[in-house]
Structure 1
Amino acid sequence: MTRPPCDVPTGADPGADADLPAVLARARGAETPGPDTPPGPPVPAWPGPARPVPAARPGEVDLGPLLRLSLAARDAGGRLRPASSAGGLHPVDVRLTVGTAAPLPPGRYGYDPLADRVHRLGAAPGPVPPGVRAELSVTLARTRSHYGHRAWPLALLDTGHAVAALWLAAGALGAPAPALDLDGARAEPLATVHLPPPGSGPAAAHPRPAPESGRLLARRSAPPPLTGAPDAAALAAVLAVAETAGAGVLGWCAALGGSAPGLFALDPGGGLRRLASGEARPTLAAWAAGQGWIARSGAVLLGYGCPDDADAAHIRRAHLCAGHAVGLAQAVADRHDLGARPVGAWQRADLGAALGEPPGRDWVVHGLALGADGPPPAPDASGARAAPGPTGTPPPQEPHPC
């Protein structure tokens, strides 16, 4: 399978996830998670008093609305948030390093998304550029409480979704484009998002139209079933934003059913081209922790890559970029009135091997199930291979939805 090369930096800090390659190999296997365990507190016990984020003055980062449109919870349990999360467990924690041109005094703060409040942690560690830097890390116990040994890749995907939520919030507010660090070189923080003050750069660039604030707050993962294939234009738009956000780290394609089922990718002209022929969705359902509803979904967007020999930095970067890309793709799907649900748990999902390529090179990293009423698109079917079908379908596992 042809995909852009990964240019993952080398020399990453080993950090707390030094055994990440072994952890990922286990998560990709057939082993099912054990019984649920207590998830622990839903937010860190930040020290000191909680304080609201003041309204921004002219020339300052509009931090309060940015956080409310991206990370703040909408109910007391914390499940309803603008960013998707496996099992609604939300392991991502956020520290803010505040410089000048911000509504808070310079320094370090911990963000409580349930209360939509910040706690001052102390002075900033060294010079800070104007604006606010959001530093994202995870409390893995929250995700591990339900997904057990599969928690790490899911928590990394969730971090990417939180980055996408901040990016989308900036676009909805017409703010300058955030600067993203998803290179995976560090285990702590996993990702950073620098929110510059107004006038310091171009507005956040999104496929037009930019998301409206109300639409971001109302966005939720659609419950299954998600039936009805998207039309070709909508599917191409979803693929395009995923490829752009993935920045060459992963390959992207979509599985479709209908009268001419197969796997489709984006062609250079912006249309769809067939990668493989045949019905792949039942195989994807078995690979996605046995979630049978995926076999009847209208389409399934797939991000693939992250080979067996990937080191910890490569694994972090691939999953962070995949979560970011699917988070943006989900927003594009919403603007095309498609139902969309991220699918993060994938077992034995060696897409490349299923298509006759060398094994262990092109694993499914993340997915987005899509549904809409209407007939399936009929892209060009020339030069296609056989998509992974019933003969290559692993035995279904017990459902363990993500």
Structure 2
Amino acid sequence: MNHPEPDDLPAALAQARSARRPGPDTPAGAAVPAWPGPPLTFPDAGPADLDLDALLRLSLAAADGSGRLRPASSAGALHPVDTVLVVGDGCSLPPGRYGYDPLRHRAHRLGGPADGTPPGLTAELSVTAQRTASHYAHRAWPLLLLDTGHAAAALHLAARALGSAEPVLCPDGHGAHATALATVHVPPPGPASPPPPAPTPAELLARRSDPPPLPGTPPADVLLAVLTTAARAGGDDLRWCAAVGGPRPGLLEAAPDGAGLRRTAAGEARPTLAAWAAGQAWIAGAGAVLLARGCPADADAPHIRRTHLRAGYAVHLAHLTARRHGLAARPVGSWQQADLGAALGAPPGRDWIVHALALGTRHADEENTP
């Protein structure tokens, strides 16, 4: 696996935000690390155990032979996130460290448990940067961090679906594995049920990124629900708004009291967003575009890492909320020159688009239905 991030992450982010275009594709390399030892199947879980087989099938496992189709979103379906499973007591595998193979849904034992390993599972998430850089080149690092956030959120939702106590996300790694960008600790199931509404396994397996176009403006109450989900999950470093079209185009935010939406800017923003998002013209016709904004140009590496991981995490949870309300949705991670604050008249370099979720009331296949 590669080093968790470049030596100068702020410089890498500045390059990714620039107008410079990536060159031709390069080889992506292996889709899974060459974990040592024989592949192990996941045993059946006991009544009080965390079911690792089900947890990983609902979060990280590939559902097709190519490895592209998975419950966690990934830029270009390149899936750079690698996972080490730190297993404590109360799990369906014996305690120890395991490398996870999402293509074959197998574990490879790497060693015994360290002293102080907590009960349940701690998933240490790192990346093989070559997979994403093979297509996105210098634009890769924000996408790698966003993908890690999506993987963390997929684990969170799977744990809740299985009745685990609330998972804990650490967006700065701090695991025993030196290359971890983030860790997610999933406790064993407890007597208390997770707070409603817990997702169902069927919901998690059905959640996919819808192909464009995504026309149709969501109703105000649905858009508020999606914005509220993102804001709650996104931490203190990000602000959230939604660009809408229609007869009154502009930017909307959740009101501070949560009672509804308020308009923070007037005018049609979606064509500009389409230009900023690597020229994806379909975004100009999306029903709404949920935007995570923040991460100023002078942010240091921990701030960049934290905001991008949190943005991916929050957009993944918002995606599920959108699907529950019948919306089509697609994450949008690649943004160039997207200084939203400066475009709205604020000082430049302070308020950049970090991640987005395009929303619509109609799916692409419905557009072709007579």
User: If the TM-score is normalised by the length of the shorter chain, which range does it land in?
Assistant: over 0.9
Letter in 2 for 1:198: P
Contact in 1 for aligned 2:4/2:181 (Cα 8 Å)? no
Structure 2: distance between partners of 1:343 and 1:328: 14
Alignment check: 8 A CA contact 2:36 2:110 kept = yes
Residue 189 of structure 1: which of 180, 187, 192 is its match? 180
- Offset of residue 116 of structure 1: 0.6
The aligned counterpart of 1:384 is none
Match of 2:12 in 1: 23
Deviations 1:364-391 (A, max 9, x none): 0000000015xxxxxxxxxxxxxxxxxx
Q: Structure 1: which 4+ aligned runs deviate by more than 6 Å?
A: 184-187
Structure 1 residue 246 corresponds to structure 2 residue 231: no
Q: Distance in 1 between matches of 2:274 and 2:153?
A: 26
1:139 to 2:125 alignment? no
Secondary structure of the structure 2 residue equivalent to 1:17: coil
CA distance in structure 1 between the partners assigned to 2:21 and 2:287 by the alignment: 27
Match of 1:55 among 32, 38, 44: 44
Q: Does the aligned pair in 1 maintain the 2:173–2:180 contact within 8 Å? A: no
Aligned to 1:301: 290
More deviation, 208-217/73-82 = 208-217
Q: Following superposition of structure 1 onto structure 2, how do residues 5-154 of structure 1 map, counting pairs within 5 Å?
A: 16-154=5-143
Q: Given residue 190 of structure 2, which amino acid in structure 1 is its aligned partner?
A: G
- In 2, distance between residues paired with 1:23 and 1:203? 42
Aligned residues: 357
Residue identity in the other structure for 2:198:
A
Percent sequence identity is 65
Is 1:174 the counterpart of 2:173? The answer is no
What amino acid is the match of 2:283? I
Which residue is equivalent to 2:365? none
Q: CA deviation at 1:176?
A: 1.3
In 2, distance between residues paired with 1:203 and 1:176?
A: 7
Relative to 1, partners in 2 of residues 1:61 and 1:343: Cα closer, same or farther, differing over 3 Å? Answer: same
Deviation at 1:168?
1.0
How much does 1:182 deviate? 1.1
Closer/same/farther in 2, CA of residues 309 and 184 from structure 1, 3 Å limit: farther
> Which ranges in structure 1 are unaligned for 5 or more consecutive residues?
1-13, 374-402
How far 1:212 moved relative to its partner? 1.8
One-letter amino acid of the structure 1 residue matched with residue 58 of structure 2: L
Asked whether the equivalents of residues 184 and 320 of structure 1 are also in contact (C-alpha less than 8 Å), the reply is: no
Question: Structure 1 counterpart of 2:348, which letter?
Answer: P
Please, which of 199, 224, 228 is the counterpart of residue 190 of structure 2? 199
Distance 2:157 2:35 in 1: 27
Paired position in structure 2 for 1:263: 251
Matches within 5 A, 1:308-347: 308-347=297-336
Deviations 1:38-71 (A, max 9, x none): 1001010100000111111122112110100000
Residue of structure 1 in register with 2:368 after alignment = none
Deviation at 1:15, TM superposition (A): 6.6
Give how far 1:203 is off: 4.0
Q: Distance in 1 between matches of 2:103 and 2:174?
A: 30
1:221 aligns with 2:212: no
Displacement, 1:16? 4.4
Residues 240 and 270 in structure 1, CA contact (< 8 A), matched pair in contact too: no
- More displaced stretch, 44-53 vs 184-193: 184-193
Corresponding letter in the other structure for 1:192:
T
Whether contact under 8 Å (1:178, 1:204) holds in the other structure is: no
Q: Which of structures 1 and 2 has the larger relative contact order (alpha carbons within 8 angstroms, sep 6+)? A: 1
Question: Whole-Å Cα distance in 2 between the matches of residues 287 and 346 of structure 1?
Answer: 6
Which letter does structure 1 place at the counterpart of 2:231?
A: E
DSSP 3-state at the match of 1:365: strand
CA positional deviation for 1:18 = 2.7
Structure 2 unaligned blocks of 5 or more:
363-370
Question: Residue 356 of structure 1 corresponds to which residue in structure 2?
Answer: 345
Distance in 2 (CA, whole Å) between partners of 1:16 and 1:82 is 24
2:366 maps to which residue? none
What SS does structure 2 have at the residue aligned with 1:51? coil
Question: Is 295-304 or 47-56 further displaced after alignment?
Answer: 47-56
Q: 1:300: how far off? A: 0.1
Distance 2:313 2:44 in 1: 28
Give, in whole Å, the separation in 1 of the partners of 2:273 and 2:174.
Answer: 31
Residue-by-residue CA offset, 1:121-166 (whole Å, 9 max, x unaligned)? 0122332011111000000000001000011110100000001101
CA distance in 2, matches of 1:210, 1:233: 20
Rounded to whole Å, the distance in 2 between the matches of 1:340 and 1:197 is 32
